[in-house]
Structure 1
Amino acid sequence: MLIDKINNKQAKVGIVGLGYVGLPVGVAYAEAGFRVTGLDVTQARVKMLNRGESYIDDIQSERLLPILANGSFKASFDPSVLAAQDAIIICVPTPLNKTQDPDLTAIKAATKDIAANLQRGQLIVLESTTYPGTTQEIIQPVLESRGMKVGEDFYLAFSPERIDPGAVGSKGWRFENTPKVVGGVTPQCRELAVALYANVVEKVVPVSSPSIAEMTKIFENVFRVVNVALVNEMALLCDRMGLDVWEVVRAANTKPYGIMQFAPGPGVGGHCIPIDPFYLTWKAREYDFHTRFIELAGEINLQMPYHVRELTIRALNRSDKGLHGAKILVLGVAYKKDVSDFRESPAIKIISLLEKDGAHITYHDPHVPELQEGHVTYQSVKLEQQTLNEADCVLIITDHSAFDYEAIVREAKVVVDTRNATAKVGENRDKIVLL
C-alpha cells in the first residue's frame, strides 16, 4: 500500500518544476531517504543538476553531490519518468498575464503530462500558489478524464509552498521546519498527503479541503501586501508632513502587543506578494464580489516606484542637477535582501521610469551579475570608489548585507535610501535622502 511505502520511505517522489520551490522540496525528500526524480522543461537546468551544480541560492551545490552519488536524486526533462513515481508534487510557476489574470499555463501543462502517465495508486499534490478551486476545477477533471476516479484510483491534494528565499541562513526557516498546510480532495487523499509531508516536515497542518489550503496561502500573502501598503501610505504621508517614517515605525514597534513590524520600501517584488492577491481578486469576480481592500493595497504599492523617482529628482536638485542626463547608480536589483531573484523587483520599474526621463543608469548587485528587461540587457558594474564618485546620485533599492554603507555615503555625492540601510551611518548624513 502507498501509505506503507511512504512511512517506510520507500515511495518514489517526483517533483515537477525545479525552481525556487521545487528544488528545495526535492532535495529535502532525497536527504530524508526517498528516491526523488525531478522533472523540468529546461534542459540546461537538468544537466546542471545532474552534474551537481545548483542555480538556487538556498541550495548549495555541496548538498547535491551526496544525493546524486547515492542515487537518491536525479533530474530529467522526460515526462515519461512520472509513470514510475508513487507521489508527484507539482511546483511550477503561476504568474499573471498582461491583463493581470491568472496564467495557469504551467499547471495545465504539468497536469497533462501527469495524466498521460498516471498510474493507479499515485498521489498528486499541487504546491503552486493559485486561486481557491484550482485543484478540483482544473487538475481533477484532467486526471479523471482517462477513466480513473480521485480517492479510489489515485489521490489528489493541495499543499501551498512556503519557501522564503534568502531566509535559510538568517532565520533558519527552510522547507523542513516550516509548518505545512495540507488539504485533500477526500479524507484518504489528505491522509496520504499528510503522511508524505510528515516524513520530511516537522509540523503538518491538515485542513478540510484543497480550497481551504489554497485560500490559506492567498490570505497569507494578502495579509502581507495590505500591511506593506499601509506602511507605504504612511511613508507617503510622512513625506508630505516632513516626518521621518522610519522613526515612526521604529517607535511604534516598541509596543509589545497589537502591532506587527512592517517596513516601507520602493515597492513589492518576488514570486508571491505582487502576484498572489490578484489571483483572489480574479476569482472573486465569479461571485460578484470586489476585493476593494486588496485592490487598493495593490494601487498604493504600485505608486512607490514613482515616489522613488520623485525622491531622486529632489536629491539631484541639491546640486542643481536635473534628471535628464544624470548618472544614476542603482544599488541592488534583486527583489529582496541577499537573494539573486529579481522577479517583479521594484528596481526594474524604477530603472524604466528614470531612463524614460533621460537618466543614464548603471547598477551593481553582488547577487545579480546580469539583468535583462525586455530587449535590454544590463551588466552589474564594479562597486569601486570611482564608480561612486562619478555617479550624480546613488540609489539604494535593495539593502544587501555585502554593501559597505559607510563607504557608499562617504564617496557618493548624494544617496537616496529606500530601505533605511544607512541608519547606522554616522557621518555625512546630510547626503542622505530617506524614503
Structure 2
Amino acid sequence: MRADLAVLGLGHSGLPLARAATAAGIGTIGYDPDPRTVADLAAGRAPADGSLTAPALRRMLSQGFRTTGDPAVLGGVRTVVICVDTPLGADRTLDLRPVREAARTLAPVLRPRTTVVLQSTVYPGSTEEFLRTVLEDGSGLGAGRDFHLAYAPDRLDPGDGAGTDLARIPQVIGGLTPACTEAAAAFYGRLTEKVVRARGPREAETAALLETNYRQINIALINEMAVFCHDIGVDLWDVIRCAETKPFGFQAFRPGPGVGGHSVPIDPNHLSYPSRSLGYPLRMVELAQEVNARMPRYVTQRAAALLNEHGKSARGARVLLLGVTYKVDLADRAGSPAEEIASRLRDLGAEVGFHDPYVQRWEAGGIAVPRADSLYEAAGAADLTVLLQNHRVYDLQGLAAKSQLLLDTRGVSPTGAAHRL
C-alpha cells in the first residue's frame, strides 16, 4: 500500500492516530528516531504505556502500517502529522525541542503541496512562530504558499472507551490560511465524524489550553473540597452524589492523590520564547497547579495520621500502594503522583511496597520499590494499604476485608469499608 500519511512520534498520541488512519484505508508510515521503538512496533510488540494493544498493533501491521527511522521516506507522503511528546521541564515550561527535532527531520524532504499538521501539546503561537520558522528555514518552502500548515489538538482520553474512539470525537483544526485549514480538514474528515474549523492555529492551540486548564482547575477545586470536608467531618462523596443530580450548571469532578498524565496545566506566561511573555500569570491556573501539587503530601499526611490513630508509627510501618499508573487500566505512569507519595512515605521511615497489574518494575526517587506478587497476602501483611489507582481488577470489598487499614484515595470502596480521602 502506498503511504499517504506519515506520523512523526509513535507515543500516546501518534499511535492512536496511526491506528485510525490505517483502519480508514490510509497508507500510513510511523516515524520515530528511536531504533528500539521502530523495531519493537515492527515486530508486533505493543508499547509499555498501553496506548495500543498487541492485537490492535498486529491488525495495523496486517493492514499495511509500517514503522521506520529513515527520514527519506517522509518525502513521499501527502500528509505529515507531528505527534511527538513535549514534556515539562524542571521549571514547568514545555520542552519544545522534540517538535524542533521533528521539524528539522522533515524539512529537508518536505515537498510542495504537502499538508503538515502539528498535534503535540504546545503554547499558543507555536505553530505559526516556532514550527513554521523551522520548516521554512530547512526546506526553502513557504508555509501557506508552497505547503499547508495547521494545528489539530489531541483530544483522546486514554483508557476511556468513548474517549479513544477518534471517529466520535470532533476534531478541531486551525490552519495558517483558509486553504491550510481545508487541507487539514479534508484529511481528518476521513477519520472523524465532525471537523470543527478554528479561525487559525492560535485559536486551535488555545482551545487545547482551555480544555486542559478547565480540567485542572476543577480537579483542584474538588481536591480542596476533599481536605475541607475531611476537616469538618463531612462525607464529600455523598456531597458529590447529591450535587451531580442538578441537571444544569454543575459537572461532577472527583478528588484523587494528585494529577498525572500527558496533558499538563499550562500557564501562557511561561512561554518558550521570552518575547512572547505576557508579563503576568493566569492566577487560576497557578492556584490549581499549587493545590493539585499539594495532594501527594496530603495523602502522605493522611496515611501517617491513620497509622497513628491505630497505635502505629509511620516509621517501620509496612505500607502497600495499589495502582501506581496515572490512569485506570493503563500501564502509563506519566506524571503519576505515586512516585512522590512513595518517596514521602519512605522519608517518614515506612517500608513501602506496591502492586499494579500493569507494572512489573517500579522506582520512586531512583530507588526500586518491591512489588507484591500476591495481592491479598500483601494487603493482609501491610499495616496500611493505600489505593492510588482503582484498576478494575481490584475487588475493594475483598481488599477491605483483608487489609488491616485501607485508605481509598479514589472513593470507590463500598461505604464504610475503608477510610476515604
TM range (shorter): over 0.9
Q: How far is 1:123 from its partner?
A: 0.9
1:109 aligns with 2:101: yes
Deviates more, 1:311-320 or 1:28-37: 311-320
Matches within 5 A, 1:32-431: 32-55=24-47, 57-70=50-63, 72-145=64-137, 146-168=139-161, 171=162, 173-272=164-263, 275-278=264-267, 280-283=268-271, 286-423=277-414, 429=417
The answer on whether the counterparts of 2:265 and 2:289 sit within 8 Å (CA) in structure 1 is no
Query: What is the match of residue 5 of structure 1?
Result: none
Query: What is the match of residue 4 of structure 1?
Result: none
Q: Relative to structure 1, is the Cα distance of residues 334 and 235 closer, same or farther in structure 2, using a 3 angstrom cutoff?
A: same
Q: Specify every segment of 5 or more residues in structure 1 that has no aligned partner in the other structure, as ranges.
A: 1-8
Q: How far is 1:286 from its partner?
A: 1.1
Q: How far is 1:380 from its partner?
A: 3.0
The Cα offsets for residues 406-432 of structure 1, whole Å up to 9 and x where unpaired, read as 1111111101110012135x7xx3xx2
Query: What is the match of residue 19 of structure 2?
Result: 27
Deviates more, 1:54-63 or 1:88-97: 54-63
Q: Relative to structure 1, is the Cα distance of residues 294 and 237 closer, same or farther in structure 2, using a 3 angstrom cutoff?
A: same
Q: How far is 1:277 from its partner?
A: 2.2
Task: Give the secondary structure class of the aligned counterpart of 1:182.
Answer: strand
Letter in 2 for 1:277: I
Q: Relative to structure 1, is the Cα distance of residues 356 and 48 closer, same or farther in structure 2, using a 3 angstrom cutoff?
A: same
The Cα offsets for residues 226-257 of structure 1, whole Å up to 9 and x where unpaired, read as 00001111111111111111111111111111
Q: How far is 1:144 from its partner?
A: 1.3
The answer on whether the counterparts of 2:382 and 2:404 sit within 8 Å (CA) in structure 1 is yes
Query: What is the match of residue 3 of structure 1?
Result: none
Q: Specify every segment of 5 or more residues in structure 2 that has no aligned partner in the other structure, as ranges.
A: none
Task: Give the secondary structure class of the aligned counterpart of 1:75.
Answer: strand
Q: Give me the whole-angstrom Cα distance separating, in 2, the residues matched to 1:301 and 1:246.
A: 18
Q: Give me the whole-angstrom Cα distance separating, in 2, the residues matched to 1:126 and 1:137.
A: 13
Q: How far is 1:82 from its partner?
A: 1.1
Deviates more, 1:51-60 or 1:302-311: 51-60
RMSD over aligned Cα atoms: 1.8
Q: Give me the whole-angstrom Cα distance separating, in 1, the residues matched to 2:261 and 2:189.
A: 28
Q: Give me the whole-angstrom Cα distance separating, in 1, the residues matched to 2:376 and 2:257.
A: 25
Q: Give me the whole-angstrom Cα distance separating, in 2, the residues matched to 1:388 and 1:288.
A: 51
The number of residues matched between the two structures is 416
Letter in 1 for 2:338: A
The Cα offsets for residues 260-305 of structure 1, whole Å up to 9 and x where unpaired, read as 0100111111111xx2324x24149712232111101111111111
Letter in 1 for 2:198: V
Q: Relative to structure 1, is the Cα distance of residues 67 and 300 closer, same or farther in structure 2, using a 3 angstrom cutoff?
A: closer
Which of 4, 7, 29 is residue 15 of structure 1 equivalent to?
A: 7
State the percentage of identical aligned residues.
Answer: 36
Task: Give the TM-score of the pair, scaled to structure 2.
Answer: 0.95
Task: Give the TM-score of the pair, scaled to structure 1.
Answer: 0.92
Q: How far is 1:191 from its partner?
A: 0.6
Q: How far is 1:10 from its partner?
A: 7.2
Q: How far is 1:328 from its partner?
A: 0.2
Query: What is the match of residue 433 of structure 1?
Result: 419
Q: How far is 1:173 from its partner?
A: 4.0
Q: Give me the whole-angstrom Cα distance separating, in 2, the residues matched to 1:327 and 1:64.
A: 40
Q: How far is 1:314 from its partner?
A: 1.7
Q: Give me the whole-angstrom Cα distance separating, in 1, the residues matched to 2:353 and 2:359.
A: 13
